[in-house]
Amino acid sequence: MTADGDCINPELTTLSRTPLVAGVPLNLLNTEVMSNDRFYVRNHFPIPKVDAANWSLPVSGEVDTPLNISYQDLKELPRHEVLALLECAGNSRAGIQPPIEGLLWDHGGVGTAGWAGVSLCTVLERAGLRSTAKEVLIEGCDEGEERGASGKLNYAMSLPMEKALHPDTLLAYEMNGEPLPGEHGFPLRAVVPGWFGMTSVKWIKSIQVLDHAFVGYHQTSYYVFVPEGATGDRPNERVTSLRVKSLISHPVRGQYVTAGRVTIEGMAWSGNGPIDKVEISTDDGKSWQEAQISPSPSPYAWQPWKYTWEANSPGNYLVRSRATDLKGDTQPVQTLWNFRGFANNAIHVVPVIVQPMP
Ligand code: MTE
C-alpha cells in the first residue's frame, strides 16, 4: 500500500506522509488563487477513498424531513461559489517560544481557492429546521486513533446555527473549477469562510442537527486554546475566526539581494474581511511604510501586496510586515501563547542580506 503522501506535488513540504500533512513554501504564496496541486493539505487520518456513485449525504436530527441526498442530486441544487482562504490553525507555529506541541508548521498551511457547491443553509432549509436546532454537526468519513483519545474516532466538527446558516458556508464539490481532489475532501467538503480550516470538514459522511452543544475530540479537546498551566478542569475556548495576518513571500529567509530597489511582496488576510493596510519596516520596527495592496476580490480571500524598498546600504536587515484590517485589528509583535500554538498572527520577520552592487 502506498502512503497518502506518495502522490503529493514535490514542490510542497511534507510534514507527515500518513496522515498526509504538507505545506507550501513561502515563495509560492504569491498568487491570488492557489492551484489545487499547490494547496496545503492537513489530514488527521489516512485519506478515505470514497466512490461518489455509492455515496450519499444523510441529513438528520432536529429537522422535520430527514434527507439522504445523492451526489447527482446535490449538484442539481442551486449552485453557490465562494472565493475563500483556508488557514490551518497551527500555521506559523514552528518558531513560537516557549515551544508548543504539534507538527511544526512553518508558514505554508494557508491558501485561497475558488470553491463551488451548495450553501449548507439550502440543504438545511429543505430538511426543515426545528426550533430546537442548536448546532450542525458535520462528520467526515475518515477515521483513526488520536493520542489522548480512546478508541477509533471520525473527524467531526459542529457549527453554531448562525455560521451554519450563513449563505457562504458551503458544501463544496468543486475546487478551482475541478471536482474536489481526493486529498481535499472528494466528494464533498465543508468550506467555512472566515474561520480557521479545522471546521471545513472533508469527505463528509453525514450532517446532523443537534439540540445540544457537541462534545468531540477534535472540537473540544484539540482545536482549543489551552493556556499555560491549564489542568483540564474547565473547558478551553474553541478556535474559530481567522486573525488578521500578513506573510512575506519575497524575499525569503536568508535571501541575498543586490543593493538598490528590492521588491518586498506577500499576502494579507483577516477573518474580519478586507485588509486596510500592510506596513513594512526594514529598520527593526522603528518606522513603517505602507505597501500597495491589491483590491479584495472577496471578503474571504487573501490580498497580494507589494512594497519597493530602496535598499541602498549593504548589510543585514530584518524585514517586517504588519497588516491591519478594516475593523482596526492589527498584528501583534508576539502571539498570545497557547499549548498548541494556534492562531499565531505575530508580525512576520524575515532576515535578508543586502550585498553591494557588483
Ligand atoms: N476534515 C476531515 N474529515 N479530516 C481532517 O483531518 N482536517 C481539517 C479540515 N477538515 C480535516 C478535515 C483541518 S485541521 C484543516 S486545516 C483543513 O481541513 C485543511 O484542508 P485542506 O487539506 O484541503 O487544505
Cell of 281: 519596516
pLDDT of residue 3 exceeding 60: yes
Residue 338 sits at φ, ψ, to 5 deg, of -145, 160
| Residue nearest (by alpha carbon) to ligand 1 atom 10 | 201
| pTM over cut 0.85 | yes
| Bridge-based pairing state of the strands 245-250 and 224-225 | unpaired
Q: 90-134 pLDDT, tens per residue? A: 999 999 999 999 999 999 999 999 999 999 999 999 999 999 999
pLDDT for the residue numbered 84? 98
Q: Enumerate the domain spans of the chain.
A: 50-84+110-238, 245-355
- The residue-averaged pLDDT of 340-345 equals 98
Distance CA 91, CA 335 (A): 12
Q: 192-225 pLDDT, tens per residue? A: 999 999 999 999 999 999 999 999 999 999 999 9
Judge residue 13's burial from the number of C-beta atoms within 10 Å of its C-beta, 0-12 exposed, 13-18 middle, 19 or more buried. Answer: middle
Q: 12-31 pLDDT, tens per residue? A: 999 999 999 999 999 999 99
Question: CA geometry: angle at 25 spanning 92 and 275, to 5°?
Answer: 60
Atom of ligand 1 lying closest to residue 87 CA: 16
Q: How far is the CA of 315 from the centre of ligand 1 (A)?
A: 42
| Bridge-based pairing state of the strands 255-258 and 348-355 | parallel
8 Å CB contact between 191 and 200: yes
pLDDT for the residue numbered 270? 98
pLDDT of residue 1 exceeding 70: no
End-to-end alpha carbon distance in the chain: 53
8 Å CB contact between 358 and 258: yes
pLDDT of residue 2 exceeding 60: no
pLDDT for the residue numbered 4? 75
Res. 235 pLDDT band, cuts 50 70 90: confident
The fold of the 245-355 domain, in CATH, is Immunoglobulin-like (2.60.40)
8 Å CB contact between 118 and 171: yes
CA 268: distance to chain centroid?
Answer: 13
Q: 53-101 pLDDT, tens per residue? A: 999 999 999 999 999 999 999 999 999 999 999 999 999 999 999 999 9
- The residue-averaged pLDDT of 290-294 equals 98
Tell me the best of 16, 33, 42 to mutate to test the pocket of ligand 1, counting ligand atoms within 8 Å of each CB and taking the most: 42
Count Cβ neighbours within 10 Å for each residue of 256-270 and write b for 16 or more, e otherwise: ebebeebebbbbbbb
Helices (H), the chain: 71-76, 120-127, 161-164
Q: Residues with Cβ within 6 A of ligand 1?
A: 39-44, 86, 88, 140, 142, 155, 184, 197-198, 200-203
Q: How far is the CA of 245 from the centre of ligand 1 (A)?
A: 20
Q: How far is the CA of 87 from the centre of ligand 1 (A)?
A: 10
DSSP 163-211: HHTSTT-EEEEEETTEEPPGGGTTT-EEE-TTB-GGGS--SEEEEEEES
Reference 33, options 87, 89, 88, 85; nearest CA is 85
Q: 123-162 pLDDT, tens per residue? A: 999 999 999 999 999 999 999 999 988 899 999 999 999 9
- The residue-averaged pLDDT of 280-284 equals 97
Q: How far is the CA of 43 from the centre of ligand 1 (A)?
A: 5
CATH 3.40.630.30 assigned to 50-84+110-238: no
- The residue-averaged pLDDT of 281-310 equals 97
Q: Which residue has the higher pLDDT, 307 or 357?
A: 307
Task: Establish how many alpha carbons lie within 13 A of residue 308's alpha carbon, considering only the half-sphere containing its beta carbon.
Answer: 3
Atom of ligand 1 lying closest to residue 197 CA: 16
Residue 83 sits at φ, ψ, to 5 deg, of -95, 115
